[in-house]
Structures are given as C-alpha cells and as structure tokens.
Amino acid sequence: MKHGLAIALFALLPFASGAALGAESGATDQPPAPSGPSLPAKEHFIYARKIGDKVDVVETSSRLVDSEGGSWYEFTSHSPEQDLVLKLDPATLIASYSEVTSRAKNATLRRVTTVLENRNPAQPDEIVVSGMDSLPYTLRAFPWGSRQRASISFLGTGLGGSFRFDLSVEGKETISVAGRDVECWKAQLSLGGLLGSFFGRSYLWYSTDPPHYLVKSETASAGPGSPTSILTLQSYSAEGTGE
C-alpha cells in the first residue's frame, strides 16, 4: 500500500524505518486505548502504481488474528520490488512487528523490526508510529473528520521533536477509482526545516467513510528530483468486522 512513500522517505532518512529494537517478542508496555479503529476482519486491496512510464501492481491483504497471546491485525503487501508483513495493535494500529524483504538487481535484503517496549505514548496532537513502512496503515487510526492536524513522531529515533512530520487535512475530494466515485479526506504530509525543502510534500487520500482506507497517494519515488509515484486503488473488498 505504501511502497512509494516508504521508499522516498527511507532514502532520505534511513534511520526512520528501523527505529525500534529487534527481538523475539512483539509486546509493548503501553496499555491499549479504551477503543480503537474498527477494521473489517479481512480486507483485500489492489493498487495500480505509476512511476514515470512504469506501471505495476501493489497487492495488500489484512486479517484480524486472535490467539491466547492477544489479538492483532496482520497486514501483508506485495509489489515487484518489496514484500511486507506487519502486526498492528488493534487499538492504535501501531506496528509491533515488521518484516520487509526488498529485491534489487544485485541483492535481496530482509529487515525485521520488533517493538519490545514503548515508552512514548502519543500526545493529544501527535501520532506515534514505529517506522515508515507502517505509517500509511497507522494513519487509518487518525480521527478523520474531527481533527485537521497532527505531528508524526517515530519510536526509537532518539531525536525527540527534531524529527517530526506534519500531517494536515486539506478537505474533502472525490476520487474516481475502479469505476466508482469515492469521497476522501485529502491530507498533506510534509517535513519542516532544511530536509523539508528536499523532501517536498506528499499527498494522501483516505476514504471519508470508515474504515478509512487509502484510496490514492502521490509521493516521491526516491530522493530529490525523482519522479512522482502515484498509487491508485483498483479494487477493495472486506469481510466481517473487527469488533
């Protein structure tokens, strides 16, 4: 779902995506919120991605997992150059585990990140995420329609307020995808300071109706001067509820 966005930010800020400590357990010490986003028990997305003249497909699925050790949403995403597995807290959609397999011409790399401890509860105007790979998924928990702005901080960077993205909701916009019109919240993601002038702005469109899934994104495909990566939803299906 987020491949263009993560690639662009990871290229500029490599410490962001692997912020948390890696180990065997996915538990955190932050108690779950009293209520969280209600996602379907199963979802399936197909996106078309256009980077310059290249067009390919990104396929994403999710499912609610219940076990004796707890429950979580498991997201898997596949594209020609990357596979992603995430375990998201059902109350906050913060990823406690991520596994990224990246394929290039001369190498295949796998990066596993596990959050062992989270001592950084979100402030009222803040969204805390565990890495760039999970950011577009965690943003589904943003209170769309009731808040217009938030700052985004990353676990484990050790940089505090010096490394934050700003999310601002610009309003509603209807996007035509897969033969139908979907009303969306259009949001802008930006980074302040000198890095912001290199990174530029990204735009994200989330459905106004719950469960607030990503409908479209426009981001840099890599570093400064790279072509825009446009991700557009082609199909979406859901089964059951996560309640």
CATH of the domain at 70: 2.50.20
Confidence of residue 32 (pLDDT cuts 50, 70, 90): very low
Owning domain of residue 69 = 3-22+40-237
Nearest-angstrom CA–CA distance, 133 and 145: 24
154 Cβ contact list (under 8 Å, min separation 6): 16, 19, 128, 129, 130, 131, 132, 163
Domain count, the chain: 1
Q: Mind listing the pLDDT tens digit for each residue in 40-82?
A: 999 999 999 999 899 999 999 999 999 888 999 999 999 999 9
pLDDT of amino acid 48? 97
Q: Is the pLDDT of residue 142 over 70?
A: yes
Q: Which two tokens stand for residue 147?
A: 């808040």
Global pTM exceeds 0.75: yes
Cβ-contact 114, 97 below 8 angstroms: yes
Does residue 136 fall inside a structural domain? yes
pLDDT tier for residue 191 given thresholds of 50, 70 and 90: confident
CA 63 to chain centre: 16
On the 0-12 / 13-18 / 19+ scale of CB atoms within 10 A, 211 is middle
Predicted local confidence at residue 8, as pLDDT: 39
229 within domain boundaries: yes
Q: Is residue 34 part of a domain?
A: no
Give the tokens for residue 167. Answer: 């999310």
Instruction: Please say if the pLDDT value at position 152 is more than 80.
Output: yes
CA atoms of 36 and 22, how far apart (whole Å): 26
The model's pLDDT over 97-122, given as tens digits with 9 standing for 90+, comes to: 999 999 998 999 999 999 998 776 77
Q: Which region among 104-113, 138-147, 219-228 has the lowest average model confidence (pLDDT)? A: 219-228
* 99, part of any domain: yes
- Which stretches within 123-171 are classed as H helix? 135-138
Question: Does 49 map to a domain?
Answer: yes
Contacts of 68 (CB under 8 A, 6+ apart): none
Q: Work out the mean pLDDT of the chain and round it to a whole number.
A: 81
Q: Give the pLDDT confidence score for residue 49 in this predicted structure.
A: 95
Is 30 a domain residue? Answer: no
**Is the pLDDT score of 223 beyond 80?**
no
Token digits for 182?
């979907």
Sign of CA dihedral 70, 132, 83, 203: positive
Predicted confidence at residue 34, as pLDDT, reads: 33
pLDDT of 188 strictly over 60: yes
In a domain, 27, yes or no: no
- pLDDT at position 199: 65
Nearest residue to 28 via CA among 110, 116, 99: 116
Do 75 and 61 form a contact (C-beta atoms < 8 A)? yes
- CA-nearest of 140, 200, 186, 162 to 4 is 200
Task: Name beta bridge partners: 47.
Answer: 58, 233
Quick check: is 243 in a domain?
A: no
